[in-house]
Amino acid sequence: MSYAHPGQPSARWQDWVENKPILSLLVVGIVATQLGTFFGYVFPAIGIPVLPWPLYNGILGTTIADGFNGASVEGFTVSSDAFFVGHSIHFINGIVFALLWGIMYREDVARFFKNNIVNGMSYAVVMSIISAGLLVPYAYVPNQGYGLFLFDGPDGWKLPFGILVWHLIYGVFLGLLWNPSPVPSRVDFDVTPTTRTTV
């Protein structure tokens, strides 16, 4: 049995990723999302605002679905409906973005970033720009004066920085956990003529 070494996955995991690329991306998406979510909740320990994405998604989802539903962003109170809706949306997002990374982004960007972890982090930067520039200011806290990329909010630079750190954590785990062998772009056939000798 081949075990993992620092910076290198085990042969068994590598084979499974290569043989089951979509299923393995789904699993990696769940793991990366869970690990990122954990760090988002403990960010205040290092002076970054808490990022409870499941809570925000739950409030947003239940508000859109059936009115405000008793949820409150300010007090971090949330109904049981919003809790389950939020976690469902959050993990579906994490899985879908992992699939998009593995299927559409990774191979195309590999020519610029040969290291798979750096590749995952570059994807995380793109996600951070979308999140801080569009999703958070216009979906989670609309019309509250947070300004361009949230710099005018009550936390100043810390909120956009926290969003970047959160997505970088997610991207690092994508790159660490899903790293199949590169697929050759073309197959080389040996066309060297063979010579026959006749007796």
Residue 79 covered by a domain: yes
Torsion of CA 73, 168, 37, 154, to 10 degrees: -20
| Number of neighbours of residue 70 by Cβ within 10 angstroms | 13
pTM of the model: 0.78
pLDDT digits (tens, 9 = 90+) for 63-95: 654 444 444 444 445 677 778 888 899 999 999
Least confident segment among 21-35, 66-80, 130-144, 165-179: 66-80
Within a domain: residue 35?
A: yes
Tally of domains within the chain:
1
- Is residue 156 one of the residues assigned to a domain? yes
| Structural domain includes residue 3 | no
* Residue 192 domain flag: no
Report if residue 185 sits inside a domain.
Answer: no
What's the Cα-to-Cα distance from 183 to each of 18, 168, 194, rounded to whole Å? 10, 26, 29
Does the residue 199 lie in any domain? no
Q: Give the residue from 106, 126, 127 showing the smallest Cα distance to 178.
A: 106
196 falls within a domain: no
Residue 154 domain boundaries: 11-177
20-43 pLDDT per residue, tens: 999 999 999 999 999 999 999 999
